[in-house]
A and B are shown apart, each in its own frame.
Chain A
Amino acid sequence: MEILNKLEVKHINKSFDDKKVLNDISFSVKDGEFLSVLGPSGCGKTTLLRILIGLEKADAGEILVDGKNIADLAPSQRDMGIIFQNYALFPAMSVLQNVEYALKLRKDLKPKAREIAIQTLTQIGMADQMKKKPNQLSGGQQQRVAIARTLALNPKIVLLDEPISALDVTNREIMKRELKEIQHKFHTTMVFITHDQEEAFFLSDRIMVLSEGNIEQIDTPENIFKAPATPFVESFVIDHLEQKYHSLLKCTGRLEAK
């Protein structure tokens, strides 16, 4: 049987103290695809991400990577990487040490740890900063190191928890583009968590709109824009973008087209 989906999530449910946070979540991500999980704060998107990587346990449901259920594996055995908004670098270590460290602890990768670390940092454009400590870097640079640290282990899927929200507007734009380049360069499957509609529309192959633990719609940005499935999607996604780009849309004539 041919496996088409890199990641397949089936019927995930999660409650905290009787409060339903995730309600029967099922979706799939194709190999090399960039999926955004878009929703307002408190919609359950971060919980979903933590369940995917194994930092949180779902009440019910299956998580399949390459067709194999990983729901009972430890986070480090899931072949997934995670990037957080606040970088979470190891403060006392240099850039190179940060990337190299986890590799060194893996028996199979240990002999090539430095080589892999340098190679990854070079690919990500941080080769000239390798000796610096995290606190000597800008926010964008720190995030690139965090990405390199994750990619060095060659995970099958990378999860990103609002990775560029902490950056200032200019750097956010730059990182957005770089993220896309990185994904192409490494051919990594990515699941990207965000509350920012523009980020989601700019970056994603497909977007999953989440509200109060329910999937409102999963589709390509274009299709979501053309045909919002629920009133929530209409107001949270479409109205927001329209208001923001009203004049722009008017010029391009897309407002009338809708």
Chain B
Amino acid sequence: MLKKIRSGQLIVFIFLFFSVICPLAVLLLNIHMSDIQQIIQSEQFLPMLSHSLLATTLATLISVSLAILLSWLINRSNIHFKGLLTVLFTVPMLIPSISHGMGLVLLFGDNGLVTQFLGLNINLYGMTGIVMGSVLYSFPVAFLMFNDIFRYEDYTVYEAAEVLGLSKYQQFKCITMVNLNRPLISSIFAVFTMVFTDYGVPLVVGGKTMTLPVYMYREVIGLLDFSKGAVIGVILLIPAVIAFIVDLMNKDKGNSSTVTRAYEIKPNLGRDIIAAILCWTVVALISLPILAFTYLTFVNKYPIDLSLSLGHIFEALQLGVDMYLINSLCIAMLTGMAGTAISYYTAFLTARSKKNFSKLMLHMISMLSLAIPGVVLGLSYVLFFHDSWIYGTLIILVTVNCIHFFASPYLLAYNSLKQFNENIEDVSETLGISRWRMLIDVYIPGTRETIAEMFSYFFVNAMVTISAVSFLANFRNMPLALLIPQFDSQSLIEATAFISILILIVNSVLKFIIYLTRRYLRKQENMA
């Protein structure tokens, strides 16, 4: 019984060793002093670094502030359709980052809809575009983090403050701000890392403003210069590693704050009207690029012939979009299944057995993937698996996705499994129930909703990712999202719009299925 668990642990260890530790080690080994010197001393380096830092800082500030404001409005006012608004705010997560860039091009580019019809030119290409696109791309992530905090804030503390005669401002300062402390740091780092390492948005709207990830992408994809790519990769790794360490120290140790009472929202019509206006304005802004994709897909020849047609769809199908869609669906399904299984099993090992050194190691490695930017992981896979048989297959794409998106679902499972009674293993041991049986008969049935959510996370991210897979895919196994940069460079704008819509549809359908599944599971659970 115990042996089985040990061997299970060993298998997970070996898997993570070859899919995380080895590639990273090889990446680091590929760095030569001469390359570092060459890159740092080159004329492009400092401007690139400063562009990256400036764009990332601005986007982070805007995203996080917006996220705080909107999650606060949703949870502290009596506006209608809160659930719908929350869903709409997170729609941008369902399309690739590069699509956000494309959306902006379609709206504000030289021939963009806004530029053409409203005569408004915002000089999209450059810093403006990068920041705008990055905000679109990262806002939903920050929003979800704060939404959870505000939603589960305990009202009894506010009541106590009220009784003590603290003013609203004092309450905000002494209660709300304190509660926001940890998530604020976490979200700032999460958004910063996300934007800092993304090449999708700056690739299409950066213009002459080169950022580090775009440079890395061009060096590796265009010039096949892996060692230069590795140097940039390590630079991209720095903020992520800092974020990882800060986040570890920042983690709530107890994390057992239960809501004694939900926040009581007092009626205030003026506040509700302002909140509704702000929320729906943001929804409108978020949906503009998506509307632009739809419009462009069905217009005959923008901007010359605005009659509607299905021509672009046929054109896209001729370019093989359907085949790449099937690729993507396969990759996403396999990533969903394999990723969920591995991360769940790992969480089972770390959350449901006695603490020891190897468990701690396993936990650390699992969290580590949070700190590795996709492009860096992708490049390290190229270097490590280049001569192995899995190179150029679907398997390597699925593996890299599983690792790239490992940490969040792992934590979901870990937290769910931690909620089981601490004595349950002791009881099962005395009753003669093996750990395997416990996993199958007790833990999995008790965490089905979490498992559905984990699958959804892996699937959606595998559909939208263009980072880790970009260096590993070839024309045969390429996922759909990677067609966007390719078609963009061939000026097939309508096809990229169509692809973005396709990905959005697939992910929305999947999300809806998961939503129905979870509702069904909950219903079943409440029946007795």
With contacts A93-B442, A94-B528 taken as known, whether A101 is within 8 angstroms of B433 at the C-beta atoms is yes
Where the two chains meet, the residues of B that have a C-beta atom closer than 8 Å to any C-beta of A are: 420-424, 426-433, 437, 441-442, 445-446, 525, 528
On whether the beta carbons of A88 and B528 are closer than 8 Å, the reply is no
Do the beta carbons of B432 and A84 come within 8 Å of each other?
no
Say whether, besides A84-B426, A90-B442, A76 and B431 are in contact (CB < 8 Å): yes
Give me 28 A-to-B residue pairs in the complex whose CB atoms sit less than 8 angstroms apart, sorted by A's number. A50-B426, A53-B430, A55-B426, A55-B430, A76-B433, A77-B432, A78-B430, A82-B427, A84-B421, A87-B421, A88-B421, A88-B422, A88-B423, A88-B424, A89-B421, A90-B424, A90-B446, A91-B446, A92-B525, A93-B442, A102-B428, A102-B432, A102-B433, A105-B437, A106-B432, A131-B528, A133-B528, A149-B431
**Chain A neighbourhood of B429, CB < 8 A:** 54-55, 74-76
Q: Quick check: A88 and B437 within 8 Å, CB to CB?
A: no
CA distance A211 to B427 in the complex (A): 26
* Cα–Cα distance between A235 and B409 once the two chains are bound (Å): 53
Cα A179 to Cα B428 with chains together (Å): 22
Question: Roughly how many angstroms separate A131 CA and B437 CA in the complex, as a whole number?
Answer: 22
A50 to B426, CA, bound (A): 9
Q: Which residues of A contact B442 (CB under 8 A)?
A: 90-93
**A41 contacts partner chain B, Cβ-Cβ < 8 Å:** no
CB–CB B430/A75 < 8 A? yes
Which residue of chain B has the shortest Cβ distance to A77 in the bound complex? B432
CB-based nearest B residue for A153: B431
Given contacts A93-B442, A132-B528, A133-B528, contact A86 B423 (CB under 8 A): yes
Interface residues in A119-166 (C-beta closer than 8 Å to B): 131-133, 136, 146, 149-150, 153
- Residues of A with Cβ closer than 8 Å to B? 50, 53-55, 74-78, 80-82, 84, 86-94, 101-102, 105-106, 131-133, 136, 146, 149-150, 153
* B525: chain A residues within 8 A (beta carbon): 92, 133
User: For residue B421, which residues in chain A have a CB less than 8 angstroms away from its CB?
Assistant: 84, 86-89, 91
Q: How far is the CB of B246 from chain A (nearest CB, A)?
A: 32
User: Nearest-CB distance from B291 to chain A (Å)?
Assistant: 44
- By beta carbon, the residue of chain B nearest A83 is B427
With a CB–CB cut-off of 8 A, which chain A residues contact B422? 86, 88
CB neighbours (8 Å) of A80 from chain B are 430
**Across the interface, which residues of B come within 8 angstroms of A92, CB to CB?**
442, 445-446, 525
Q: Which residues of A contact B433 (CB under 8 A)?
A: 76, 101-102, 105
- In the complex, the answer to whether B430 meets A88 with C-beta atoms within 8 Å is no
Q: Once bound together, how far apart are the Cα atoms of A93 and B299, in whole Å?
A: 56
**Nearest Cβ distance between residue B521 and chain A, in whole angstroms?**
10
Q: Please report the C-alpha to C-alpha distance between residue A89 and residue B442 in the assembled complex, in whole angstroms.
A: 10
CA distance A133 to B437 in the complex (A): 20
B518 nearest CB across to chain A (Å): 15
Indicate which residue in B420, B427, B437, B528 contacts A84 across the interface (CB closer than 8 Å): B427
In the complex, residue of chain B having the shortest beta-carbon distance to the beta carbon of A132: B528
A-B pairs with lowest CB-CB distance, top 5 = A76-B432, A102-B431, A92-B445, A88-B423, A92-B446
The answer to whether A84 and B423 touch (CB under 8 A), given A105-B437, A133-B528, is yes
User: In the complex the two chains form, what is the Cα distance from A188 to B446 in whole Å?
Assistant: 32
Q: Which chain A residues lie closer than 8 Å to B430 at the CB level?
A: 53-55, 75-76, 78, 80-82
The residue in B420, B430, B433 that gathers the most chain A C-beta atoms within 10 A of its C-beta is B430
Q: Which of A53, A55, A80, A81 has the most CB of B within 10 A?
A: A55
Task: Knowing that A93-B441, A93-B445 touch, tell me 18 more A-B residue pairs with CB under 8 angstroms.
Answer: A54-B429, A55-B430, A76-B431, A76-B432, A76-B433, A81-B430, A84-B421, A84-B423, A87-B421, A91-B420, A92-B525, A102-B431, A105-B432, A106-B432, A131-B528, A133-B525, A146-B427, A150-B431
